[in-house]
């Protein structure tokens, strides 16, 4: 039998419908793959094989009766930022300890209601704060890709991107068909680019945030990481919904994104912003960008130079807004109601002991920055000014939509880097998000799609940015790039 873990989500869906294999057989294949490979990659912080096999058994019963739901029997990985009823959810932080939520996130419930199977909880940067998955309390995730330097294999461990590094690594290593993820400043798109997968951050409000552990509430958004553009389109359709429990959820119909893939890009206007040519961007990122322009042009799109003049202010503004909201959201972790508790001589001492022991270094850094910019005397100078810059960034995009239908940029300035190469320098790490934060600041949809390999044999990604709630157009353009560039898959399964 074909290795079922190598199938795409769409192929597995069609195979189940054609009764080529059962949901139980499919799920067992992934359970075995996780048993063999997760020790080396650390993508899952909590595999749930018994739960998955019980769901698969239920799916097989439905398939036998002809009552299959849209995602019936399809095994997925679930980022540990999503609350799962009765199953440990920690946001990969010590402070949540052995927390088992009494409720399910809306996005998760949507997927299980559609018939999907949960293989386990995936590793992420602590509270989603990071760009390399090195800040997790469970240890770093290892990118399944390896570099080649001077014609020789380089076995240095590479980062899978962050914060959704567990999601991207699991999909790239065939430890699930697809995975849920979240994106606050690029945490779906950046790891997708570094692992040769497809990741889409939908428009703010497209997916419910209810039941997702909060980082920065005005920026956080759920989305999928998948093997192909088609798979990402299938996933997003069933993750997205209006939710009365989320005041920022938008009541608008969710299109059939998979159907949009057949429409092509003929006549589509693609914008190329000059401000995305920045210092520190590798030559290969520029070359990949030029290839993307040529591919879209050859497919029938027209290319237009545009300007987004406030782009250079996006990263500093983001690193004021995001830590400010983080410091507010994380105030709830006090050792009183749930999670870790380190007792002290009085209540204040308990707060201080619990937070000192429970939060990692990067989380503490961002809480301190956020508390500072929100403090009396600095609120107007920093936070309020950053919000004004955010408005100007959004206005740049609003003006661009008069001229173009979507925008093409690199996803990251460089391919995957090694552990420790940037983690000692927070500013260098923050620059990894330079092409992605604008999308979150403006509340827009953005997708990363593989665009071939670097000279080191590791993936490069291209980003497409779209109009609000026009994810369908992004999928069309992403499919054109995927058709031209081809899929990139890891050849050496060294972890298995």
Q: Are 234 and 242 in contact (CB under 8 A)?
A: no
Sheet holding 269-273, edge to edge: 44-47, 117-122, 75-79, 178-183, 221-226, 198-201, 446-453, 459-466, 406-410, 269-273, 302-306
Rounded Cα gap, residues 488 and 415, in angstroms: 14
Using DSSP, state whether 226 is helix, strand or coil.
Answer: strand
Cα distances (Å, whole numbers) of residue 239 to 108, 225, 242 = 7, 12, 10
- Comparing CA positions, the residue from 146, 194, 147, 141 lying closest to residue 170 is 141
- Comparing CA positions, the residue from 96, 97, 172, 95 lying closest to residue 141 is 172
For 487, half-sphere exposure in the C-beta direction (CA atoms, 13 angstrom radius) is 15
Pairing of strands 198-201, 269-273: unpaired
Can you give the C-alpha Rg of the chain in angstroms? 21
Using DSSP, state whether 484 is helix, strand or coil.
Answer: helix
Q: Are 335 and 348 in contact (CB under 8 A)?
A: no
Selecting among 136, 163, 164, 241, the annotated active-site residue is 163
Using DSSP, state whether 194 is helix, strand or coil.
Answer: helix
- At 340, list the tokens: 């870790």
**Rounded to the nearest 5°, which phi and psi values hold at 321?**
-65, -50
Rounded Cα gap, residues 423 and 445, in angstroms: 28
Rounded Cα gap, residues 230 and 219, in angstroms: 26
Rounded Cα gap, residues 418 and 340, in angstroms: 32
Selecting among 79, 227, 422, 467, the annotated active-site residue is 79
Q: Are 311 and 387 in contact (CB under 8 A)?
A: no
Reply yes or no on whether 167 is catalytic.
no
Selecting among 132, 187, 249, 327, the annotated active-site residue is 187
Rounded Cα gap, residues 365 and 277, in angstroms: 29
Reply yes or no on whether 274 is catalytic.
no
Reply yes or no on whether 163 is catalytic.
yes
- At 218, list the tokens: 């005005």
Rounded Cα gap, residues 48 and 45, in angstroms: 10
Strand partners, 87: 84
Residues 6+ apart with CB under 8 A from 39: none
Using DSSP, state whether 197 is helix, strand or coil.
Answer: coil
- At 410, list the tokens: 């690199």
Enzyme catalytic residues: 79, 163, 187
């Amino acid at each position: 039998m074909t290795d079922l873990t190598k199938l795409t989500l769409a192929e597995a869906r069609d195979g189940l419908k054609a009764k080529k294999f059962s949901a139980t057989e499919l799920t067992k294949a992934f359970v075995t793959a996780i048993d063999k490979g997760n020790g080396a990659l650390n993508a899952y912080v909590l595999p749930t094989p018994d739960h998955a096999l019980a769901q698969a058994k239920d799916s097989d019963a439905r398939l036998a009766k002809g009552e299959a739901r849209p995602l019936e029997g399809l095994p997925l990985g679930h980022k540990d930022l999503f609350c799962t009823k009765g199953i440990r959810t920690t946001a990969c932080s010590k402070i949540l300890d052995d927390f088992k939520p009494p409720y399910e996130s809306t996005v998760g419930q949507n997927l299980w209601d559609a018939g999907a199977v949960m293989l386990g909880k995936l590793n992420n940067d602590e509270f989603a704060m990071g760009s390399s998955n090195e800040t997790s309390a469970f240890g770093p995730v290892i990118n399944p890709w390896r570099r080649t330097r001077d014609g020789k294999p380089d076995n240095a461990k590479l980062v899978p991107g962050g914060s959704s590094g567990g999601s991207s690594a699991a999909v790239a290593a065939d430890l699930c068909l697809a995975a849920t993820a979240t994106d606050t400043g690029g945490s779906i798109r950046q790891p997708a680019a570094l692992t040769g997968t497809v990741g889409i951050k939908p428009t703010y409000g497209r997916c419910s945030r209810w039941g997702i552990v909060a980082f920065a509430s005005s920026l956080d958004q759920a989305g999928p990481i998948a093997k192909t553009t088609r798979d990402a389109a299938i996933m997003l359709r069933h993750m997205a919904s209006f939710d009365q429990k989320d005041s920022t959820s938008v009541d608008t119909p969710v299109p059939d994104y998979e159907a949009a893939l057949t429409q092509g890009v003929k006549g589509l206007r693609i914008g190329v912003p000059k401000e995305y040519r920045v210092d520190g961007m590798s030559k290969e990122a520029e070359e990949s960008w030029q290839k993307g322009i040529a591919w879209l042009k050859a497919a029938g799109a027209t290319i237009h130079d545009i300007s987004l003049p406030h782009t250079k202010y996006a990263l500093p503004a983001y690193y004021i807004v995001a830590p400010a909201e983080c410091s507010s959201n994380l105030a709830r972790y006090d050792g009183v109601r749930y999670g870790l508790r380190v007792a002290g001589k009085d209540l204040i001492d308990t707060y201080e002991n619990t937070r000192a022991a429970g939060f990692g270094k990067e989380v503490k850094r961002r809480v301190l920055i956020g508390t500072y910019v929100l403090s009396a005397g600095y609120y107007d100078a920093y936070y309020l000014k950053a919000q004004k810059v955010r408005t100007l960034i959004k206005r740049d995009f609003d003006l661009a939509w008069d001229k173009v239908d979507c925008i093409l940029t690199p996803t990251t300035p460089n391919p995957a880097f090694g552990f420790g190469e940037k983690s000692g320098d927070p500013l260098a790490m923050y620059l990894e998000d330079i092409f992605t934060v604008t999308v979150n600041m403006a509340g827009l949809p953005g997708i990363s799609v593989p665009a071939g390999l670097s000279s080191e044999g590791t993936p490069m990604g291209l980003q497409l940015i779209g109009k609000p709630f026009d994810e369908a157009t992004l999928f069309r353009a992403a499919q054109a790039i995927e058709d031209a560039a081809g899929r990139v898959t890891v050849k050496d399964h060294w972890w298995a």
